[in-house]
Amino acid sequence: MKEDLVSLCIRIAYRLRREGLQVGTSEIVDALRIAENLALLEGKELDKEILHDVIRAVFAHNDREETVVERVWREINQSQNSIARVIAAVEDDLRRLGLGWGSRIYSKKKLLNGPHAEERREAYSRLRLLGLIVRTPRGDVVLDRDAAIRRIRSLLRQYGSAWDALAASAARMISRGKLEWFALYAAPVDEEKLDGIEIDRIALAALQALQEGNRGLARKLASIVAKRLESGETPRDSWSAYKLLRNLDALTPRSLASLLRSEPRLALELLRSRESRDMLAEALRLLDANALRSILRKISHDRRGIGVAAGLLGEVDLSVWSEVRISRQPRSWEEAVVAIAGMLARAEQGFLAAARGDEAQLDYALYELEKVKQIDYSEAPDWAIRAIERYRERVEQLRSVIEGVSDAMIRLYSIVKRMQPDEALLYLREVYRSGDDHLKRTALRLAEIVWRRMEARAAKHAKRSSETIISQRGRVDVRRTVYNLVALRENPIVARKRRKKPSIALVLDTSGSMAKYTLWALLAASSFSGLVYTLTLFSSDVEIVQNAWKLSRRRIIELLFRVSFEGYTNISVALRETARVYTTPSKMVIVTDLCQTVEDERPSETAARLAREGWHLLFILPPRHCSNERRAVSEYATVRVVARPEDIPRFLSRLSGI
């Protein structure tokens, strides 16, 4: 008893030092001597009450320090009381096992079997998880009492209670994969301590416990797995979780829905019995459209699965049936209504695709809708017939809307599909400029289709907005360096660095004779990402569009459709206005026939002045152009005559050589 009080006094002194109080070794010795003398004077043994009064008088020098001493005394005594309770519980477990402090365990099998085996396993599990039974090369050994007290004090300081320490130790065992030992004993389980552990590990531990016959532990872990699944957590191994919950009758529709999201093939397993089919139907109602679509596709190949699917008619959206196909002639009303639902869903998808411009899908949608008329579903229950009629009415309404929109598109498409792409665009431009709002939208949608076809031809000439050049600094060009080393060159190391190409000004003539050339130049500008910065459209007036590389396909088509391709031509003012946009000279590409029809300075004079300012000019001319002006311009700029408009992208792709 005296040794415990001495240890208590020393612990309080050390704790007070950490709190900032000046407690010297001499004061500790004085406090113990005063306490012993006071006990002798009172004629009784030294106890905590006497020690408490002495410590408060010796260690505290003012009211604030006395408050600190009282708090530290209370906390340490509560801790000691907790340690005493844990030690008492540990000694009870040791008595159940027939062991004492420092005992060696020679046969764990004999120790854990026999009478009261369940209690023995629980006691052994607690001692092992607390670290009071340790493994040595000569077998398991129980710690001596002093070592056990130090171990328990450390656990209480870290976790606060023995139960939290047990739960944390059990969680560590599951996270490290020590499932066999964990499942063998009824280890304590705390749901909060298992929060950071994967659901797959918990499920495997529960299955191992179930295999070892420990159904109590398995049920605890299974309840945690079920709660995790119901909250939306998805396991990697859904089959193990499903097997666990099914064997323990812990499977619920919500947890099953979570398993089906990650493993749709579980639905086929659930078709084997009526009870599981009923639960499957409830779980399917909780799934989102994508997961439900995948599962319906799988179970529609099974007769029992078709029955489950038919029960969902009218309760789920029509779109989820799009992948359901019945390959044979329907033999029951369930197969008939499920097959019809799949056809109606695909018809709806086809009509929606036709509305987005894919006219080929319209015929497919009409074909699926026609097949519905060939299936008899009159034997179906009233609720199924009503569901099919609602789906069918929805598709018919969509059909009437789409066909009203598509009539004009079909007629226009039948005309332009026989034309060359550039001619088709110019024709659609005329339709756009002369039609009503509905016809304008139709022409614009068809123009996008034609534009994409033209882009496919122009894109093969497209260059990136930066190029790679050879340099002595930068990243090493491995291929060229290895080649130089093999060839024994004097300086084999070749580096590459990226140089940003300057932005280009594209100037397009919109007079009547230049329509196709301007069209292909505009197409090339939209295909060459980051190449064209300023776009200038001119006739007698000038329109300048900056940041042209940011324009969408539809915006470029609308810009093209606004151009009239008629009127007078003033090339000089277009060159001057374009150059004014830039603070420093750059590259300018001009697509024109050089026929100036407005009284102004000659284009060659403007080109000469821009060349002296530092501009690099490239003129792209059609075969019919003003030859005198071409000869004058060629002294200050590069001139190329392009025989066909579709060759313009190839010329624009060589801008780095201007």
pLDDT in tens, 470-496: 455 567 777 778 877 777 777 777 776
Q: Please state, in angstroms and rounded to a whole number, the distance separating the CA atoms of residues 372 and 343.
A: 7
Do residues 448 and 552 make contact, with C-beta atoms less than 8 angstroms apart? no
Q: What is the pLDDT of residues 76-101, one digit of tens each?
A: 776 665 777 788 888 888 888 888 88
- What average pLDDT does this structure show over 15-35? 84
Same domain (yes/no): 495, 507: no
C-alpha–C-alpha distance, residues 25 and 46, integer Å: 20
Residue 572 lies inside a defined structural domain of this protein: yes
| Tens-digit pLDDT profile for residues 420-433 | 777 777 777 777 77
Check pLDDT > 60 for residue 193: no
In this structure, what DSSP letter does residue 20 have? T
Helix axes 199-211, 215-230, angle to 10 degrees: 150
What value does the mean pLDDT take over residues 248-253? 85
Check whether residue 493 and residue 505 sit in a common domain.
no
Q: What is residue 467's predicted lDDT score, i.e. its pLDDT?
A: 43
Q: How many angstroms from the chain centroid is the CA of residue 322?
A: 26
- Name the DSSP class of 590: E
pLDDT reported for residue 78: 63
269 with 319, same domain: the answer is yes
CA-to-CA separations, 68 to 54, 62, 63, 107, 130, in angstroms, rounded: 15, 10, 9, 51, 32
- 466 pLDDT higher than 50: no
Residue 444 is predicted with a pLDDT of 78
Asked whether residue 363 is assigned to any structural domain, the reply reads no
Does 431 fall in a domain?
Answer: no
Domain presence at residue 47: yes
Q: What is the pLDDT of residue 181?
A: 46
Contacts (Cβ under 8 Å, ≥6 apart) of 591: 506, 507, 508, 509, 514, 517, 518, 521, 620, 648
Answer whether residue 526 is part of any domain.
yes
Give a yes or no: residue 394 inside a domain.
Answer: no
Tokens of 356: 């987005």
Domain count, the chain: 4
Position 410 in a domain: no
What gap in Å lies between CA 314 and CA 348, rounded to an integer? 16
Specify whether 525 is located in the same domain as 476. Answer: no
Confirm whether pTM is higher than 0.85.
no
Residue 438 has pLDDT above 80, yes or no: no
- Per-residue pLDDT, 401: 61
**Distance from the first to the final alpha carbon of the chain:** 101
pLDDT at 465: 42
Note whether 183 and 244 are same-domain residues.
Answer: yes
584 shares a domain with 484: no
CB 264 within 8 A of CB 298: yes
Domain boundary, last residue among 297, 319, 343: 343
Within 10 angstroms of residue 500's Cβ, the number of other Cβ atoms is: 9
CA–CA separation, 408 vs 430, rounded Å? 15
Indicate whether 285 and 143 sit together in one domain: yes
Q: How far is CA 235 from the centre of its chain?
A: 17
- Identify whether 453 is part of a domain: no
For residue 291, what are the domain limits? 116-343
Is residue 464 very low, low, confident or very high in pLDDT (cuts 50, 70, 90)?
very low
Both 128 and 101 in one domain: the answer is no
Q: What's the CATH code of the domain at 575?
A: 3.40.50.410
Q: Is 126 found in the same domain as 67?
A: no
Least confident range of 158-172, 322-336, 403-417: 403-417
Same domain, 272 and 288: yes
Q: Region 557-561: what's the mean pLDDT?
A: 78
Summarised one tens digit per residue, pLDDT across range 499-555 is 555 478 888 888 766 777 777 777 766 655 456 778 888 887 888 887 766 777 777
pLDDT digits (tens, 9 = 90+) for 635-657: 889 888 887 777 777 776 665 44
Distances in whole angstroms, Cα of residue 27 to Cα of each of 8, 16, 70, 614: 14, 12, 17, 93
Lowest-confidence pick of 318-332, 417-431, 615-629: 417-431
Q: Which residues are CB-neighbours of 528 under 8 A, at least 6 positions away?
A: 462, 463, 465, 649, 652, 653
Asked if residue 466 lies in contact with residue 498, where contact means CB atoms within 8 angstroms, the answer is yes
Nearest to 466 by CA among 549, 531, 551: 531
Extract the tokens encoding 647: 């060759």
Do residue 22 and residue 120 come from a single domain? Answer: no
Same-domain status, 257 and 160: yes
Q: How far apart are CA 636 and CA 362, in angstroms?
A: 56
Which is more confident, 36 or 171?
A: 36
Considering the chain, what is the average pLDDT of its residues? 77
CB distance 235 to 200 below 8 Å: yes
Torsion of the alpha carbons at 314, 317, 322 and 324, rounded to the nearest 10? -40
